[in-house]
Structure 1
Amino acid sequence: MECPLPEYPLSGAARSENARTRRLASVELSFDGGAGRVHQAADNGDNDAYTTRPMAYSKGLEHDGRGFLKAGAFEALEQALTRPGTDQEVDPAFDVPVAHVFDPDGSKVRTTVGGSKVGYRKLESPLAGMYYENEGPDPDGVGMAPAPKLGESELCAEMVEVYAMALVRDMTFSQLSEPSSLLTHVDPSVEGGQTLTFDNAGKPATVQDLIDGLNALAWFGKGGPVSSLGGGPLGPDLTGHEQRRRAARFDTEDTTGTRVTAETLFRGSSPGCKTGPYISQFLLAASTNGRVGFGAQEISLFVKPMRAGVDHMTNWAAWRVVQNGEKLSGLDECDPTRRPITTPRDLAAYVHIDQLYQAYFCACLMLLNAGVPGQKGFPNAGRDTREGFATFGGPHVLSLMTEVATRSLRAVRRQKFQIHRRARPERLAAMLTLAAHEPVALGNAADKFTSMLTEMGVIGGGNPDTRRILDWIAARNALLNACADDRVYQVAPDPEDFAPSDAGNFLLPMAFPEGSPMHPAYGAGHATVAGACTTVLKAFFDLYDEDGDQLIPRLDSASPGGRVFTAVGQGQFGNCSPFCIFSDPPDMTVEGELNKLAANIAIGRNFAGVHYYTDYYDSLRLGERVAVGILQEQMTAYPECVKMSFRDFDGHRIDLETDGSGTAPGVTMSVDNSDAPEDVAAWWVQTLAEFPERP
């Protein structure tokens, strides 16, 4: 791109007119190019297909003893969220049948703490997706593919995966990387916690046994039949989006052979996520004392860990009161000594109460403190007389991350509430439990649950490897229910509550007392913000060599001695004070560790039990597109040539460039070195193009 000498109208009418022209150019970019061409894909149809609405988000509404909604409750929620048939965009009163309607005096509350009843929770920002934006894509200008359908292999696989993640919360990530490690859990009723093993045919189970259970599922396994969002007018085969999503879980795109390994178990989908330790260096390697410099202050990367072995919602009474919205938040049991993120439960503790851009703010501080330079295409790069600060320096990038965070949250709220309204894993687990005992209770969804339970090995006697995972869940629930009286809260019994057998109790043990937040699963707020903030970091810092396509390992700038940190188990820190150090793999890079950071934060929510894998995968790419739209739009404000180059979460090279003219044509985007309009447009709708547009 040619870069003419910039013209600077210093003041007066010329400056004012130039500012207006540039502002209008940014509007043109937002609505006539890029995200302005995106269509909204329809939801997967599950909420309309089944009379019992087993996959509909309904938390905070009133549920009967078997977990179903009172008549008309979900329809009232939909009406308030979307205002069909009216000339109003929003319902200011938002009069939906939550607790103020079904229990105005609190007489139905069953949970007490110290003898006092708890209150009720409220839905979180249900109308945020109806708000507009004055920067970047409109919330309706970006979208997500339909979520996996009930009864299909992908949903079956990601539900079993969430079960598996719940089982290993108190193992270290180092242990999970070794197939021979014993599969352990903690009995919290014993003083200090007692480590137990899961049983596998009379022998202690191992991590490899868990992996075998996952690989026995069609979605993960040896090229078995895989159902998909195809079906009907799209045909029986996997869509391209599903193929990419499936392949991204593994080290290879080969469609045969065992898929999940200890090296790929619970890992992210982007370049670098499967390299090196599970936890990103940006969550560990600030320094040997775990602190990040923040001006004259420091920020500790250590977390206050939740007490090992303490899981929640393992009996139907506790599950039901949480679905009705009873407020158990803030009742976590924590250990007083802070430590580096060592176990999945530690990661869940981090993502429970973090400020959503927190991890990326700290990562940005680490990069700035390490002296990692800005991009070569910035106007101050290589200059003898100036350097970045207000523009293309620390204040610029640190504030830009907060901007993309708020915008991406509105975009994902629209997906959650106005479009998909997908149930959280805790609800699907309860419906699977009910289906294992009373399939007829699921109405016209019974066959779909029978299909899932058959693939899981619960029905029909097949697939014993996967069945073991559900048996371990049932055993874990029985152990925790035996010591339920030790909780800081108590739930009064209700004779209407369904009572599953111990062996058939497949409720999902939750890391948080309150379970999921008060908003639907798809998309995920943490993952969307992760995608947006990480994209800003990759677009701002110089992560590539002179050819622009080879990654430079810069971890030696962020960690002492060019080494890699990994946290080990409590009591095993030894001289690592408190990290263990080993040689730096040559293919670990800053870009990879940033991608891994985004995956850690998003998948940390899966370890807590509040999200599925697809919530992470698709939301990450939603946030990425919000960020690219904002970066592209802001280029109209730059009166000099600026170029940003980075790789997206699928490995495509993205170039954003302006000639400084302040016009929409003066801002270009290319994907894999092509600026052809059709190629750029295809990138914006990569996750959406194959699916029918929402009416």
Structure 2
Amino acid sequence: MTSVSEYQLVQNGGDSGRRLAFDNQFRSIRDGRDLAAYTHADVLYQAYFVAFLLLTQMGTPLNPGNPYIGSRTEKAFATLGGPDAASMLAEVATRALKAAWFYKWIVNLRMRPEEYGALVQARLTNIIPAPQASSALHPDVLISAVLPIIHSTYGSFLLPQAFPEGSPTHPCDPTGHGAVGGACITVLKFFFDGSQNIRQLLARIGRDVCEPRQDGSLLDVYTGADRDSLTVNGELNKLAFNISFGHGIHAGIHFRSSTLNSILLGEQVALSVLQDRAKSYNEPFTIRITKLDGTTASITN
């Protein structure tokens, strides 16, 4: 979507005829392009279900507030255990999407970045008749260092897109991936002890913290200065941002601000759902969750 004719075709619902080309070699996700490709085809809560499986495989302890801890006659399973956590991910995902869609259509109606790029194109090429909104662009965008790079590469000032079809047809803000991400990591924090050290958990199953090589062909042991201080909570927060930024920012279909606000919205949705569901459990408990801003939320019945 880097020519005016192709942009207009896609905006009018047409098919550009472009198709994604895939690498024949399997690689670990290692950059924004890979994240965009992953989120182009994922089920929205897929990454968080995989995280649930990994947390379970590593033997991650339950949240310290779980009422079954220390019981000699019962264990967490259908309630406050694995099946409960697995099904809850799907439940909060759909709740978060409904909240996001309310704000998309009823509150914000925010344009997509590709449309913003079209306004830049109209302004800098003096298209007549000019879209009214093009005259209201902030002057900073018109002197952005990226514009000459885009123009010299593609011959226009339109925003390049990772997906041939461009953005979805619903408004930009909030993002579905962001809202689902914020909701799902909050659920995982509810069920698991988020303060646990990732490297120590991996050591229990004979693994270590790894990172992909630059070409994604292999994983190498991570040697960063923070490798011994990585926690479950920190990695869950990172996962939500990576998935949401990969889908929105790297693909060119969302603004950074939309992504951040969406993750926070999803967190609030999940906290509300968890508090409502707490009343359906027979066992009394108070479970504390570290929120994205570092403060603590308590779920109690």
Shift of 1:613: 0.6
The residue that corresponds to 1:122 in the other structure is none
What amino acid is the match of 2:211? T
Amino acid at match of 1:317: S
Which secondary structure does the structure 2 equivalent of 1:645 belong to? strand
Question: Cα–Cα, structure 1 residues 440 and 316, in superposed 2: closer, same or farther, change >3 Å?
Answer: closer
Cα-to-partner distance string for 1:100-137 (whole Å, 9 max, x where unaligned): xxxxxxxxxxxxxxxxxxxxxxxxxxxxxxxxxxxxxx
Tell me the equivalent position of 2:258. Answer: 615
Corresponding letter in the other structure for 1:557: L
Q: Take 1:443 and 1:314, find their aligned partners in 2: how far apart are those partners?
A: 18
Q: Over aligned residue pairs, what C-alpha RMSD do you find?
A: 2.0
State the partner residue of 2:3.
Answer: 315
The SS at the match of 1:608 is coil
Q: 1:515 to 1:632 in 2, by over 3 A?
A: same
Alignment-derived partner of residue 537 in structure 1:
188
Pick aligned residue for 1:476 from 118, 134, 153: 153
Q: Do the aligned residues in 2 keep the contact of 1:531 with 1:620 (CA within 8 Å)?
A: yes
- After TM superposition, list the pairs within 5 Å mapping 1:101-500 onto structure 2: 313-327=1-15, 331-438=19-126, 441-442=129-130, 444-449=132-137, 452=138, 454-456=139-141, 458=143, 466-467=144-145, 469-477=146-154
CA contact (8 A) 1:405 1:533 kept: yes
How many percent identity over aligned positions?
Answer: 37
1:147-193 alpha-carbon deviations (Å, 9 max, x no partner):
xxxxxxxxxxxxxxxxxxxxxxxxxxxxxxxxxxxxxxxxxxxxxxx
- Mark the CA change 1:632 to 1:590 in structure 2 (over 3 Å): closer, same or farther: same
In the aligned structure 2, how far is the partner of 1:379 from the partner of 1:432? 57
**CA shift in 2, pair 1:330/1:654, >3 Å:** farther
What are the Cα deviations for residues 17-63 of structure 1, in whole angstroms up to 9, with x where unaligned?
xxxxxxxxxxxxxxxxxxxxxxxxxxxxxxxxxxxxxxxxxxxxxxx
Give the letter aligned to residue 44 of structure 2: L
User: Aligned-pair distance for 1:383?
Assistant: 1.5
Q: Call closer, same or farther: CA 1:361–1:330 in 2, change over 3 Å.
A: farther
The letter of the residue matching 1:581 is: V
Q: Is the 8 A contact 2:100 2:179 kept in 1?
A: yes
* Match status 1:588 vs 2:230: yes
- Determine the C-alpha separation between the residues in 2 that align with 1:427 and 1:320: 10
Paired residues of 1:563 and 1:583 also in contact (CA < 8 A) = no
Shift of 1:386: 1.9
Distance 1:446 1:650, change over 3 A: same
Of residues 182, 187, 208, the one that matches 1:563 is 208
From 573, 596, 600, the counterpart of 2:242:
600
Q: Which amino acid aligns with 1:523?
A: P
Q: Deviations over 1:629-667 (max 9, x none)?
A: 110001111122112111111111111112xxxxxxxxx
Q: Aligned-pair distance for 1:542? A: 1.2
Out of 184, 190, 197, the position equivalent to 1:553 is 197
Q: SS at 1:387's partner residue?
A: coil
Hey, what does 2:273 align to over in structure 1?
630
**Equivalent AA in structure 1 for residue 12 of structure 2:** N
- Aligned 8 A contact 1:473 1:506 in 2: yes
Q: Which amino acid aligns with 2:291?
A: D
**CA, structure 1 residues 439+314, in 2 after alignment: closer, same or farther (shift >3 Å)?**
closer
Shift of 1:568: 1.5
Query: How many Å separate the matches in 1 of 2:18 and 2:93?
Result: 25
Contact 2:79 2:281 in 1 (8 A): no
What CA deviation, in whole Å up to 9, does each residue of 1:329-372 have, x standing for no partner? 99322122221102211110000010000000000000011111
What displacement does 1:385 show?
A: 2.1
Gap change, CA 1:556 and 1:329, over 3 Å in 2: farther
CA contact (8 A) 2:193 2:232 kept: no
Measure, in 2, the Cα distance between the counterparts of 1:556 and 1:423: 45
Question: SS where residue 116 of structure 2 aligns?
Answer: helix
TM-score (norm 2): 0.92
Q: How does 1:655-674 map to 2 (within 5 A)?
A: 655-658=298-301
> In structure 2, do the counterparts of structure 1 residues 328 and 359 end up closer, same or farther at CA, with 3 Å as the change threshold?
farther
Q: Provide the C-alpha distance between the structure 2 equivalents of 1:328 and 1:592, rounded to a whole number of angstroms.
A: 41
* In structure 1, C-alpha distance between the alignment counterparts of 2:128 and 2:299, rounded to whole Å: 55
Richer in helix (by share): 2
What's the secondary structure of 1:607's corresponding residue?
coil
1:516 to 158, 164, 167: 167
Contact in 2 for aligned 1:329/1:514 (Cα 8 Å): no
Task: Quote how far apart the aligned CAs of 1:587 are.
Answer: 2.7
Residue 202 of structure 2 contacts residue 208 of structure 2 at CA under 8 Å; is this kept in 1?
no
Say whether the 8 Å CA contact 2:211–2:221 is kept in structure 1: yes
Question: For residues 405 and 372 of structure 1, do their structure 2 counterparts lie closer, same or farther at Cα, with a shift above 3 Å needed?
Answer: same
The answer for unaligned runs of 5 or more in structure 2 is none
TM-score by length of 1: 0.41
Q: CA deviation at 1:429?
A: 0.4
Paired residues, number = 297
Deviation at residue 418 of structure 1 after TM alignment: 2.4
Range with greater deviation from structure 2 (608-617 or 579-588): 579-588
Aligned CA distance change for structure 1 residues 329 and 388 (closer, same or farther; 3 Å)? farther
Structure having the higher Rg? 1
Residues of 2 paired with 1:527 and 1:569: CA distance?
Answer: 26
Give the drift of 1:395.
0.4
* Counterpart contact for 1:374–1:541, Cα < 8 Å: yes
Give the secondary-structure state (helix, strand or coil) at the position aligned to 2:279: helix
The answer for the alignment partner of 1:279 in structure 2 is: none
SS at 2:250's partner residue? Answer: helix
Q: Do the aligned partners of 2:44 and 2:180 also contact (CA within 8 Å) in 1?
A: yes
Contact 2:81 2:191 (C-alpha < 8 Å) held by counterparts:
no
Q: State the shift of 1:317 in Å.
A: 1.1
CA–CA distance in 2 between the matches of 1:475 and 1:325? 28
Higher relative contact order (CA 8 A, sep 6+): 2
Look up the equivalent residue of 1:347 and give its one-letter code.
L
Report the equivalent of 2:292: 649
Query: How many angstroms apart in 1 are the aligned matches of 2:214 and 2:12?
Result: 38
Task: Give per-residue Cα distances to partners, 1:54-73, cap 9 Å, x unaligned.
Answer: xxxxxxxxxxxxxxxxxxxx
**Whole-angstrom CA distance in 2 between matches of 1:588 and 1:415:** 34
Whether the 8 Å contact between 1:433 and 1:507 is mirrored in structure 2 is yes
**Structure 1: which 5+ runs fail to align?**
1-312, 459-465, 478-501, 545-551, 659-695
